[in-house]
Structures are given as structure tokens and as C-alpha cells.
Amino acid sequence: MKFYITTPIYYVNASPHIGHCYTTIAADCLARYHKMTGKDVYFLTGTDEHGDKIALAAEKKGISVEQFTDEMSAMFKKMWEKLDISYSRFIRTTENQHIKTVQTVFKKLMDNNDIYLGTYSGYYCTPCEFFIPRIKIDENNPVCPDCGRPVKIIKENSYFFRLSNYEKLLLEYLKKNPQVIQPQFRLEEVTNFISQGLNDLSITRHGTVWGIQSPTPEKYSVYVWFDALLNYLTAAGYDGKNVNHYWPPDVQLIGKDILRFHAIIWPAMLMALGLELPKMIFAHGWWTLGSEKISKSKGNIIDPLYIIERFGVDGFRYFLLREVPFGLDGEYSEEKFIKRFNSDLANDLGNLVNRTLNLVEKLFENTVPDVFVSSEMEHLMEEVLINVDNFISRINFSEALVEIWKLVTELNKILDIKKPWNSPIESARETLSQCMSGIYLISLLIYPFIPGTSRKIQAMLNIEFKENEITLTKKNISLISGRKVGKREILFKRIKT
């Protein structure tokens, strides 16, 4: 079975911040989980490189836009490497393959009369790259209703996509397939917006030089969002007729800021092309600081490199996935970070692994005693596996982690009660073998969330699994019986406050 997952492609006008990391880490977690359950996963991410905003940023830096986009795109790639992101494809909208796809789609839609030439007269917000109808603007104070920044007035000839033709079709589709928009509370927002009436969408810009040329007699450039959304098709090998076997996307992760583009314009474009629609579009919430969205333009970004330095890659990944239910906003604070790190990672998980291995070394000469799992523990393991799977299929990372931590807590409790350091050797054997089995299962379960820690635990257990050769079942645990344990290392050092 295949699993196609995407993140937004990020603008390269500034370096990646915590928000970009959030979506990409979440996508990585899903990609890894589905690989572990035996699926053929295709994980797409990349950079959105056209438009005035990017050209202006290059100009400000005093370098050519080509050099600028190369450098900035490389920064995103480097960040993903640092964060242990296992993408299958990193797409850039400046790639030839993508340019060809955009022009092919443009031509096809024009031939089908889904695109026509008209005149656009209205406002444009360059930071949001969005056309804003006159009725949404106060003429005395022309600012963007979304981001509050000044807008430009535009009157120019433009090609339009007949978005209005898809109003009824979209509403019917969403009525029949309400599960496509997630979380469910976002569906109403989308259907209300469509019900108010959709205007045709201007998809070319006259003045923009840094963009894909429209395949029209006039030399216009293609509107950046029309260009960007098509990246998901380029990566699926669209040639004007066919797509590869990964199509359609199974999950498209986005932030709530770009829901309308993905839940309205994008499906309408696919309908016009006669292609299957994504199975799920999930719009997560924002990380905020003092209740304001964290973003470059607000100047309140938290540098991911600082966080990595302080909490490590897995500390960062764990916090983002555990702290806030995916879908809701979350207020960033270093205090919360430290609390989570110390309690869940250093205390609960770190101590469990350290204590158990220490005792295996002392009492059993570093060899894992024969595997013993009590029926209660077996029941708990089964329950956790099922619940994690359910939560992951609903893209609920924090609850999935709560489930895994039930195992961590239970094993720590067993150690505290049974005190194997102070009990007859047969009883110690049972306790430690049970803990080792549990730790092994935990190392598998945490792999999608904190892969580095999972690898470290595996190294300590002297075992290595290949992510696409493993299926998440409790059967694997017998693998560790009789094994010599590897070198011990501290997983998470408590942070002093």
C-alpha cells in the first residue's frame, strides 16, 4: 500500500523558523510511522521560490535572485538534515520539471476553457501573495484583512481561472467527503467561505518578472500560488495526462493560514484537470508568542538552531509533537520546554533505560535475561499498539505519545515496586526481562517521533532494525532474548533551571 504525504513548500525569502520545522517534523513522523507499518511512502517537501517577495529579498541582499534562491533553498535542506527529516523528494519551484508541469497545466486548462483573458482590478497583498476583492478593503486604510500590512492597487490584463464554475461541485464534494478537511471544525469555515460565492481567480501577473512564464502570447508570469500548488502534481510525475502510483496525496499537512488555498483553489484545479482529490488536508494550528503568530514578518521568530543547541534534535521534535494537540494553537515558552524535557524525557524515559541497563549489567553480566512478559504487560502492550495506531491515523501526535508513555510509566512503576536490586535473583530476572522487552517495544514506538533516541536505545540493546523491514507488533520483542547489551549512554541530561 502506498502513502503520499506532503508539507507546504516554504517561501525562501527568510530562513526556516519553528513554524516550518513544526509541519515538516509532523510530516516526518507520519512518513516514518507508515513506513514502519510496511507502506510504500513518498514524502514530499520543498521550497516556493517565485514572486515579488523573493525577488525583493534578493535585491535587498544585493545578489542575483538565482543565487539567493539557491542559497536559501539549501538552508532549508540543511535544516531538514539536522532535524532528521526523511523526505523522499525536495522540490524547488524553479526546477525545469516543475516549470514544465505548470505550463502544461496552464495550457490544458486554457484549451478546456477553464482559463480566459480578462482584466483584474483590485488589491494585492505581496507578503500573502493574495488578491483581495475591493469589498474587503477599507479605501481609507487599504491594508490586508489577513496580515494587516499595506496592499497595492492593481489594474491589469490577466488570465483568470474559472474558480466560480467549481463552487457547486466543491460544496457537493465536501458534503459527500467531509473527512477530507481536518480537523473537522475547519470544514465549516471552508464551506461557509465557498457558500458566500467564489470569484474567478487571477492567475497571471503583469509586472512580476520573477516567475514562470505563462504559455500565452503575452509574456505574463504565472501567479505564485497557481505555480506553487502544482508542486504536488509535479512530484507525482504529472505529464498532462498521467500521474504515478502515489497519486492522490493521502495526507497534505498545512498550517491554518493557507487552508483556503488548499481546500478551495487546489481541489478546484484538480477537478478541472479531471484528477483525483487529496484524501486528507490537515490544517494545524500556529505556534504563538504572546498570542501572536510566530513569523518572520512579525520579527518574533525563535531560531531552531538555538533550540537544537539547548534541547537537542529529539528534545525539539518531542516538544513540538507532544505539547499541543495538532490542530490547535500553542503558546511557545522556554519554561514549558524545560518542564517537558526534564519530566518526560530525562526523568521518565531516560531513567527507565538507564536504571534497567545498569541492573542488567550488574546482575546479569550485560546479557538480557530470557524474555518474560506478564499477561498484564502483554495486554498493555497490545492496547498501546492499537491506540497509537488509532491516534496516528487521526493525526493526533500528542495522544499517541501519551499512549507510549503509559508503557514508560508502567515499567518505571514495576521497577520501583519490585526493586530488582534488592530481590531474589529469579524475581530480578523476571522484572528486568520484562523491562527490557518493554524498552525494546518503546524504542520501536518512539522511532517516528524521536528517531535519534530510538537508534541510541537500539544501539544499547545491541540491535538494529531497518525501518521498512519492521512492522509494529509486540512479536518483535523476543528478538532481544539472550542478547549482550551494548555500551550505555545517557539519553537526556536534565536541564538545570
Calpha distance 278→287 (Å, rounded): 26
Segment interacting with ligand ME8 (CB under 6 A) among 7-15, 37-45, 112-120, 347-355: 7-15
Across the strands, what pairs with 55?
Answer: none
Nearer to ligand ME8, 286 or 440 (CB): 286
CB of 316 to ligand ME8, least distance (A): 14
Q: Which is nearer to ligand ME8, 298 or 413 (CB)?
A: 298
Site string for ligand ME8, 39-68 (x = CB under 6 A): ---------x--------------------
Question: Which stretch, 185-193, 289-297, 388-396, 443-451, contacts ligand ME8 (CB under 6 A)?
Answer: 289-297
How many CA atoms lie within 13 Å of 49's alpha carbon, on the beta-carbon side?
Answer: 24
At closest approach, how far in Å is the CB of 387 from ligand ME8? 26
Q: At what angle do helices 304-323 and 18-36 cross, to 10 degrees?
A: 50
Q: What burial letters (b/e) apply to 31-50, b meaning 16+ CB within 10 Å?
A: bbbbbbbebebbbbbbbbbb
Asked if 11 touches ligand ME8 (CB under 6 A), the answer is yes
Q: Residue type at 103?
A: Q
Stretch that binds ligand ME8, among 16-24, 108-116, 366-374, 484-492 (CB under 6 A): 16-24
Burial of residue 113 (number of CB atoms within 10 Å: 0-12, 13-18, 19+): exposed
- Least Cα distance to 265 among 41, 121, 109 occurs for 109
- Tell which residue, 420, 416, 451, 439, has the closest CA to residue 486: 439
Smallest separation (angstroms) from ligand ME8 to the CB of 63: 20
Instruction: Mark residue 173 as left, alpha or beta (left: phi above 0; alpha: psi -120 to 50; beta: remaining).
Output: alpha
CA dihedral 272, 273, 276, 279 (to 10 degrees): -60
In this structure, how many other beta carbons lie within 10 angstroms of the beta carbon of residue 473? 13
Beta bridge partners of 115: 161
DSSP code for 7: E
Please list the residues that pair with 367 across neighbouring strands: 484
From 4, 5, 15, 19, residue interacting with ligand ME8 (rule: CB under 6 A) = 19
Question: Least separation, in Å, of the C-beta of 126 and ligand ME8?
Answer: 13
Q: Residue 451 interacts with ligand ME8 (CB under 6 A)? A: no
Cβ distance to ligand ME8 smaller for residue 251 or 368: 251
The conformation of residue 223, written as its DSSP 8-state character, comes to: -
Burial class (CB in 10 A: 0-12, 13-18, 19+), 260: middle
380 belongs to the binding site for ligand ME8 (CB under 6 A) = no
Q: Determine if 255 is a binding residue for ligand ME8 (CB under 6 A).
A: yes
Quick one: 20 or 92, whose CB is closer to ligand ME8? 20
**Least distance to ligand ME8 from the beta carbon of 295, Å?**
5
228 interacts with ligand ME8 by CB under 6 A: yes
Q: Which of 210/405 has CB closer to ligand ME8?
A: 210
State which of residues 80, 286, 318, 341 lies at the interface with ligand ME8 (CB under 6 A): 286
The least CB distance from residue 297 to ligand ME8, in Å, is: 9
Q: Which is nearer to ligand ME8, 19 or 312 (CB)?
A: 19
- Residue closest to ligand ME8, measured at CB: 19
CB of 444 to ligand ME8, least distance (A): 28
Give, as ranges, the residues between 296 and 335 that touch ligand ME8 (CB under 6 A).
none
Q: Which stretch binds ligand ME8 (CB under 6 A): 136-144, 173-181, 223-231, 267-275?
A: 223-231
Q: Which of 56, 258, 275, 459 binds ligand ME8 (CB under 6 A)?
A: 258
What are the C-alpha distances in Å from 274 to residues 226, 332, 487? 17, 42, 57
For the bound state, the minimum distance from the C-beta of residue 341 to ligand ME8, rounded and expressed in Å, comes to 20
Taking the least distance from each CB to ligand ME8, the nearer of 333 and 374 is 333
Q: Are 224 and 48 in contact (CB under 8 A)?
A: yes
Cα 72 to Cα 87, 357, 414: the distances in Å are: 18, 44, 50
Contacting positions for ligand ME8 (CB under 6 A): 8-11, 19-20, 22-23, 48, 228-229, 231, 254-255, 257-258, 286-287, 293-295
